[in-house]
Structure 1
């Protein structure tokens, strides 16, 4: 299949890729997340459009992998999406590996991303290490920690001054624990996160 992987370097390219993102994730909270707004990605494109990739076939967007640089020499990847008609042929893998190589030239130490359940094995195969992120706007960090007596705590944080976050180190997803958190703490949200340390090009 003669698809091409391209950097997003123009507003026109971003508009096409962003329309694909909205189509794939329609109805999901991520579409309304301010960090995923068109304006935010346009701003990032001006500084590091080579970390925003899309796959194109016959001038149509069939996949995207967007990366954004954080303040601590890390990159967060997301959104990641490939059209269902072209899934499982290596497009996402090729884009992520390319983004990893590009990231090294920015002095990046690590890459992190959130994963839906169906993609967890895919990221593990690419060398990403899993952890469980637990978040709540109505429960304290102490409350969220009280339910865990099994896993090492990677970090705790108050995001944006209002969201309690607890991250637990897991070698494998623990669905029972996720269900328990969401049952004991209504309004709590859990998601597997994946992180990979990468080398730095001098």
Structure 2
């Protein structure tokens, strides 16, 4: 049984002494994402939807996806009380790069197709594939489709719990809004760590490797 309050309490404990590096990792991700977005927007303004703009847009998506994969690696390590450093957020550039991109693309396609039916099936699909990149991180030799399949197995019977878990952060998200994003410096590491803890608990419960 997974208790949301226990997950969140454990996440706070795991972050003890690691707040600084956790904030640094997420700020770096934001800066890179904003920089890439600004660059592509400037190119579009001055050149229009040229091949250069299209290439830079695709490259931007790839880079942000790989860094997001690296951030998953960082917070999984942190949640397991292993040593962490900013460099761990670049894990995706060195490990399973093509597979991470494949998981992202395939998951988004599936979610989109389910959403075409109705909003609810789309939401359910989102939760089905929520941990596909986490599973790929733990199993770098696993095929893309297998990682997606394992994610579905992992969250089976717990999609509602995962939804409630995410909804439990609404108050913190509102705080980020009213503080113009300043509170996000602390809230984002908290949510990412808690999500990794939730994932670990599901692995223990389901015994899925």
TM-score, length basis structure 2: 0.24
The structure richer in helix per residue is: 2
TM-score, length basis structure 1: 0.25
**Greater relative contact order: 1 or 2 (C-alpha under 8 angstroms, separation 6 or more)?**
2
The structure richer in strand per residue is: 1
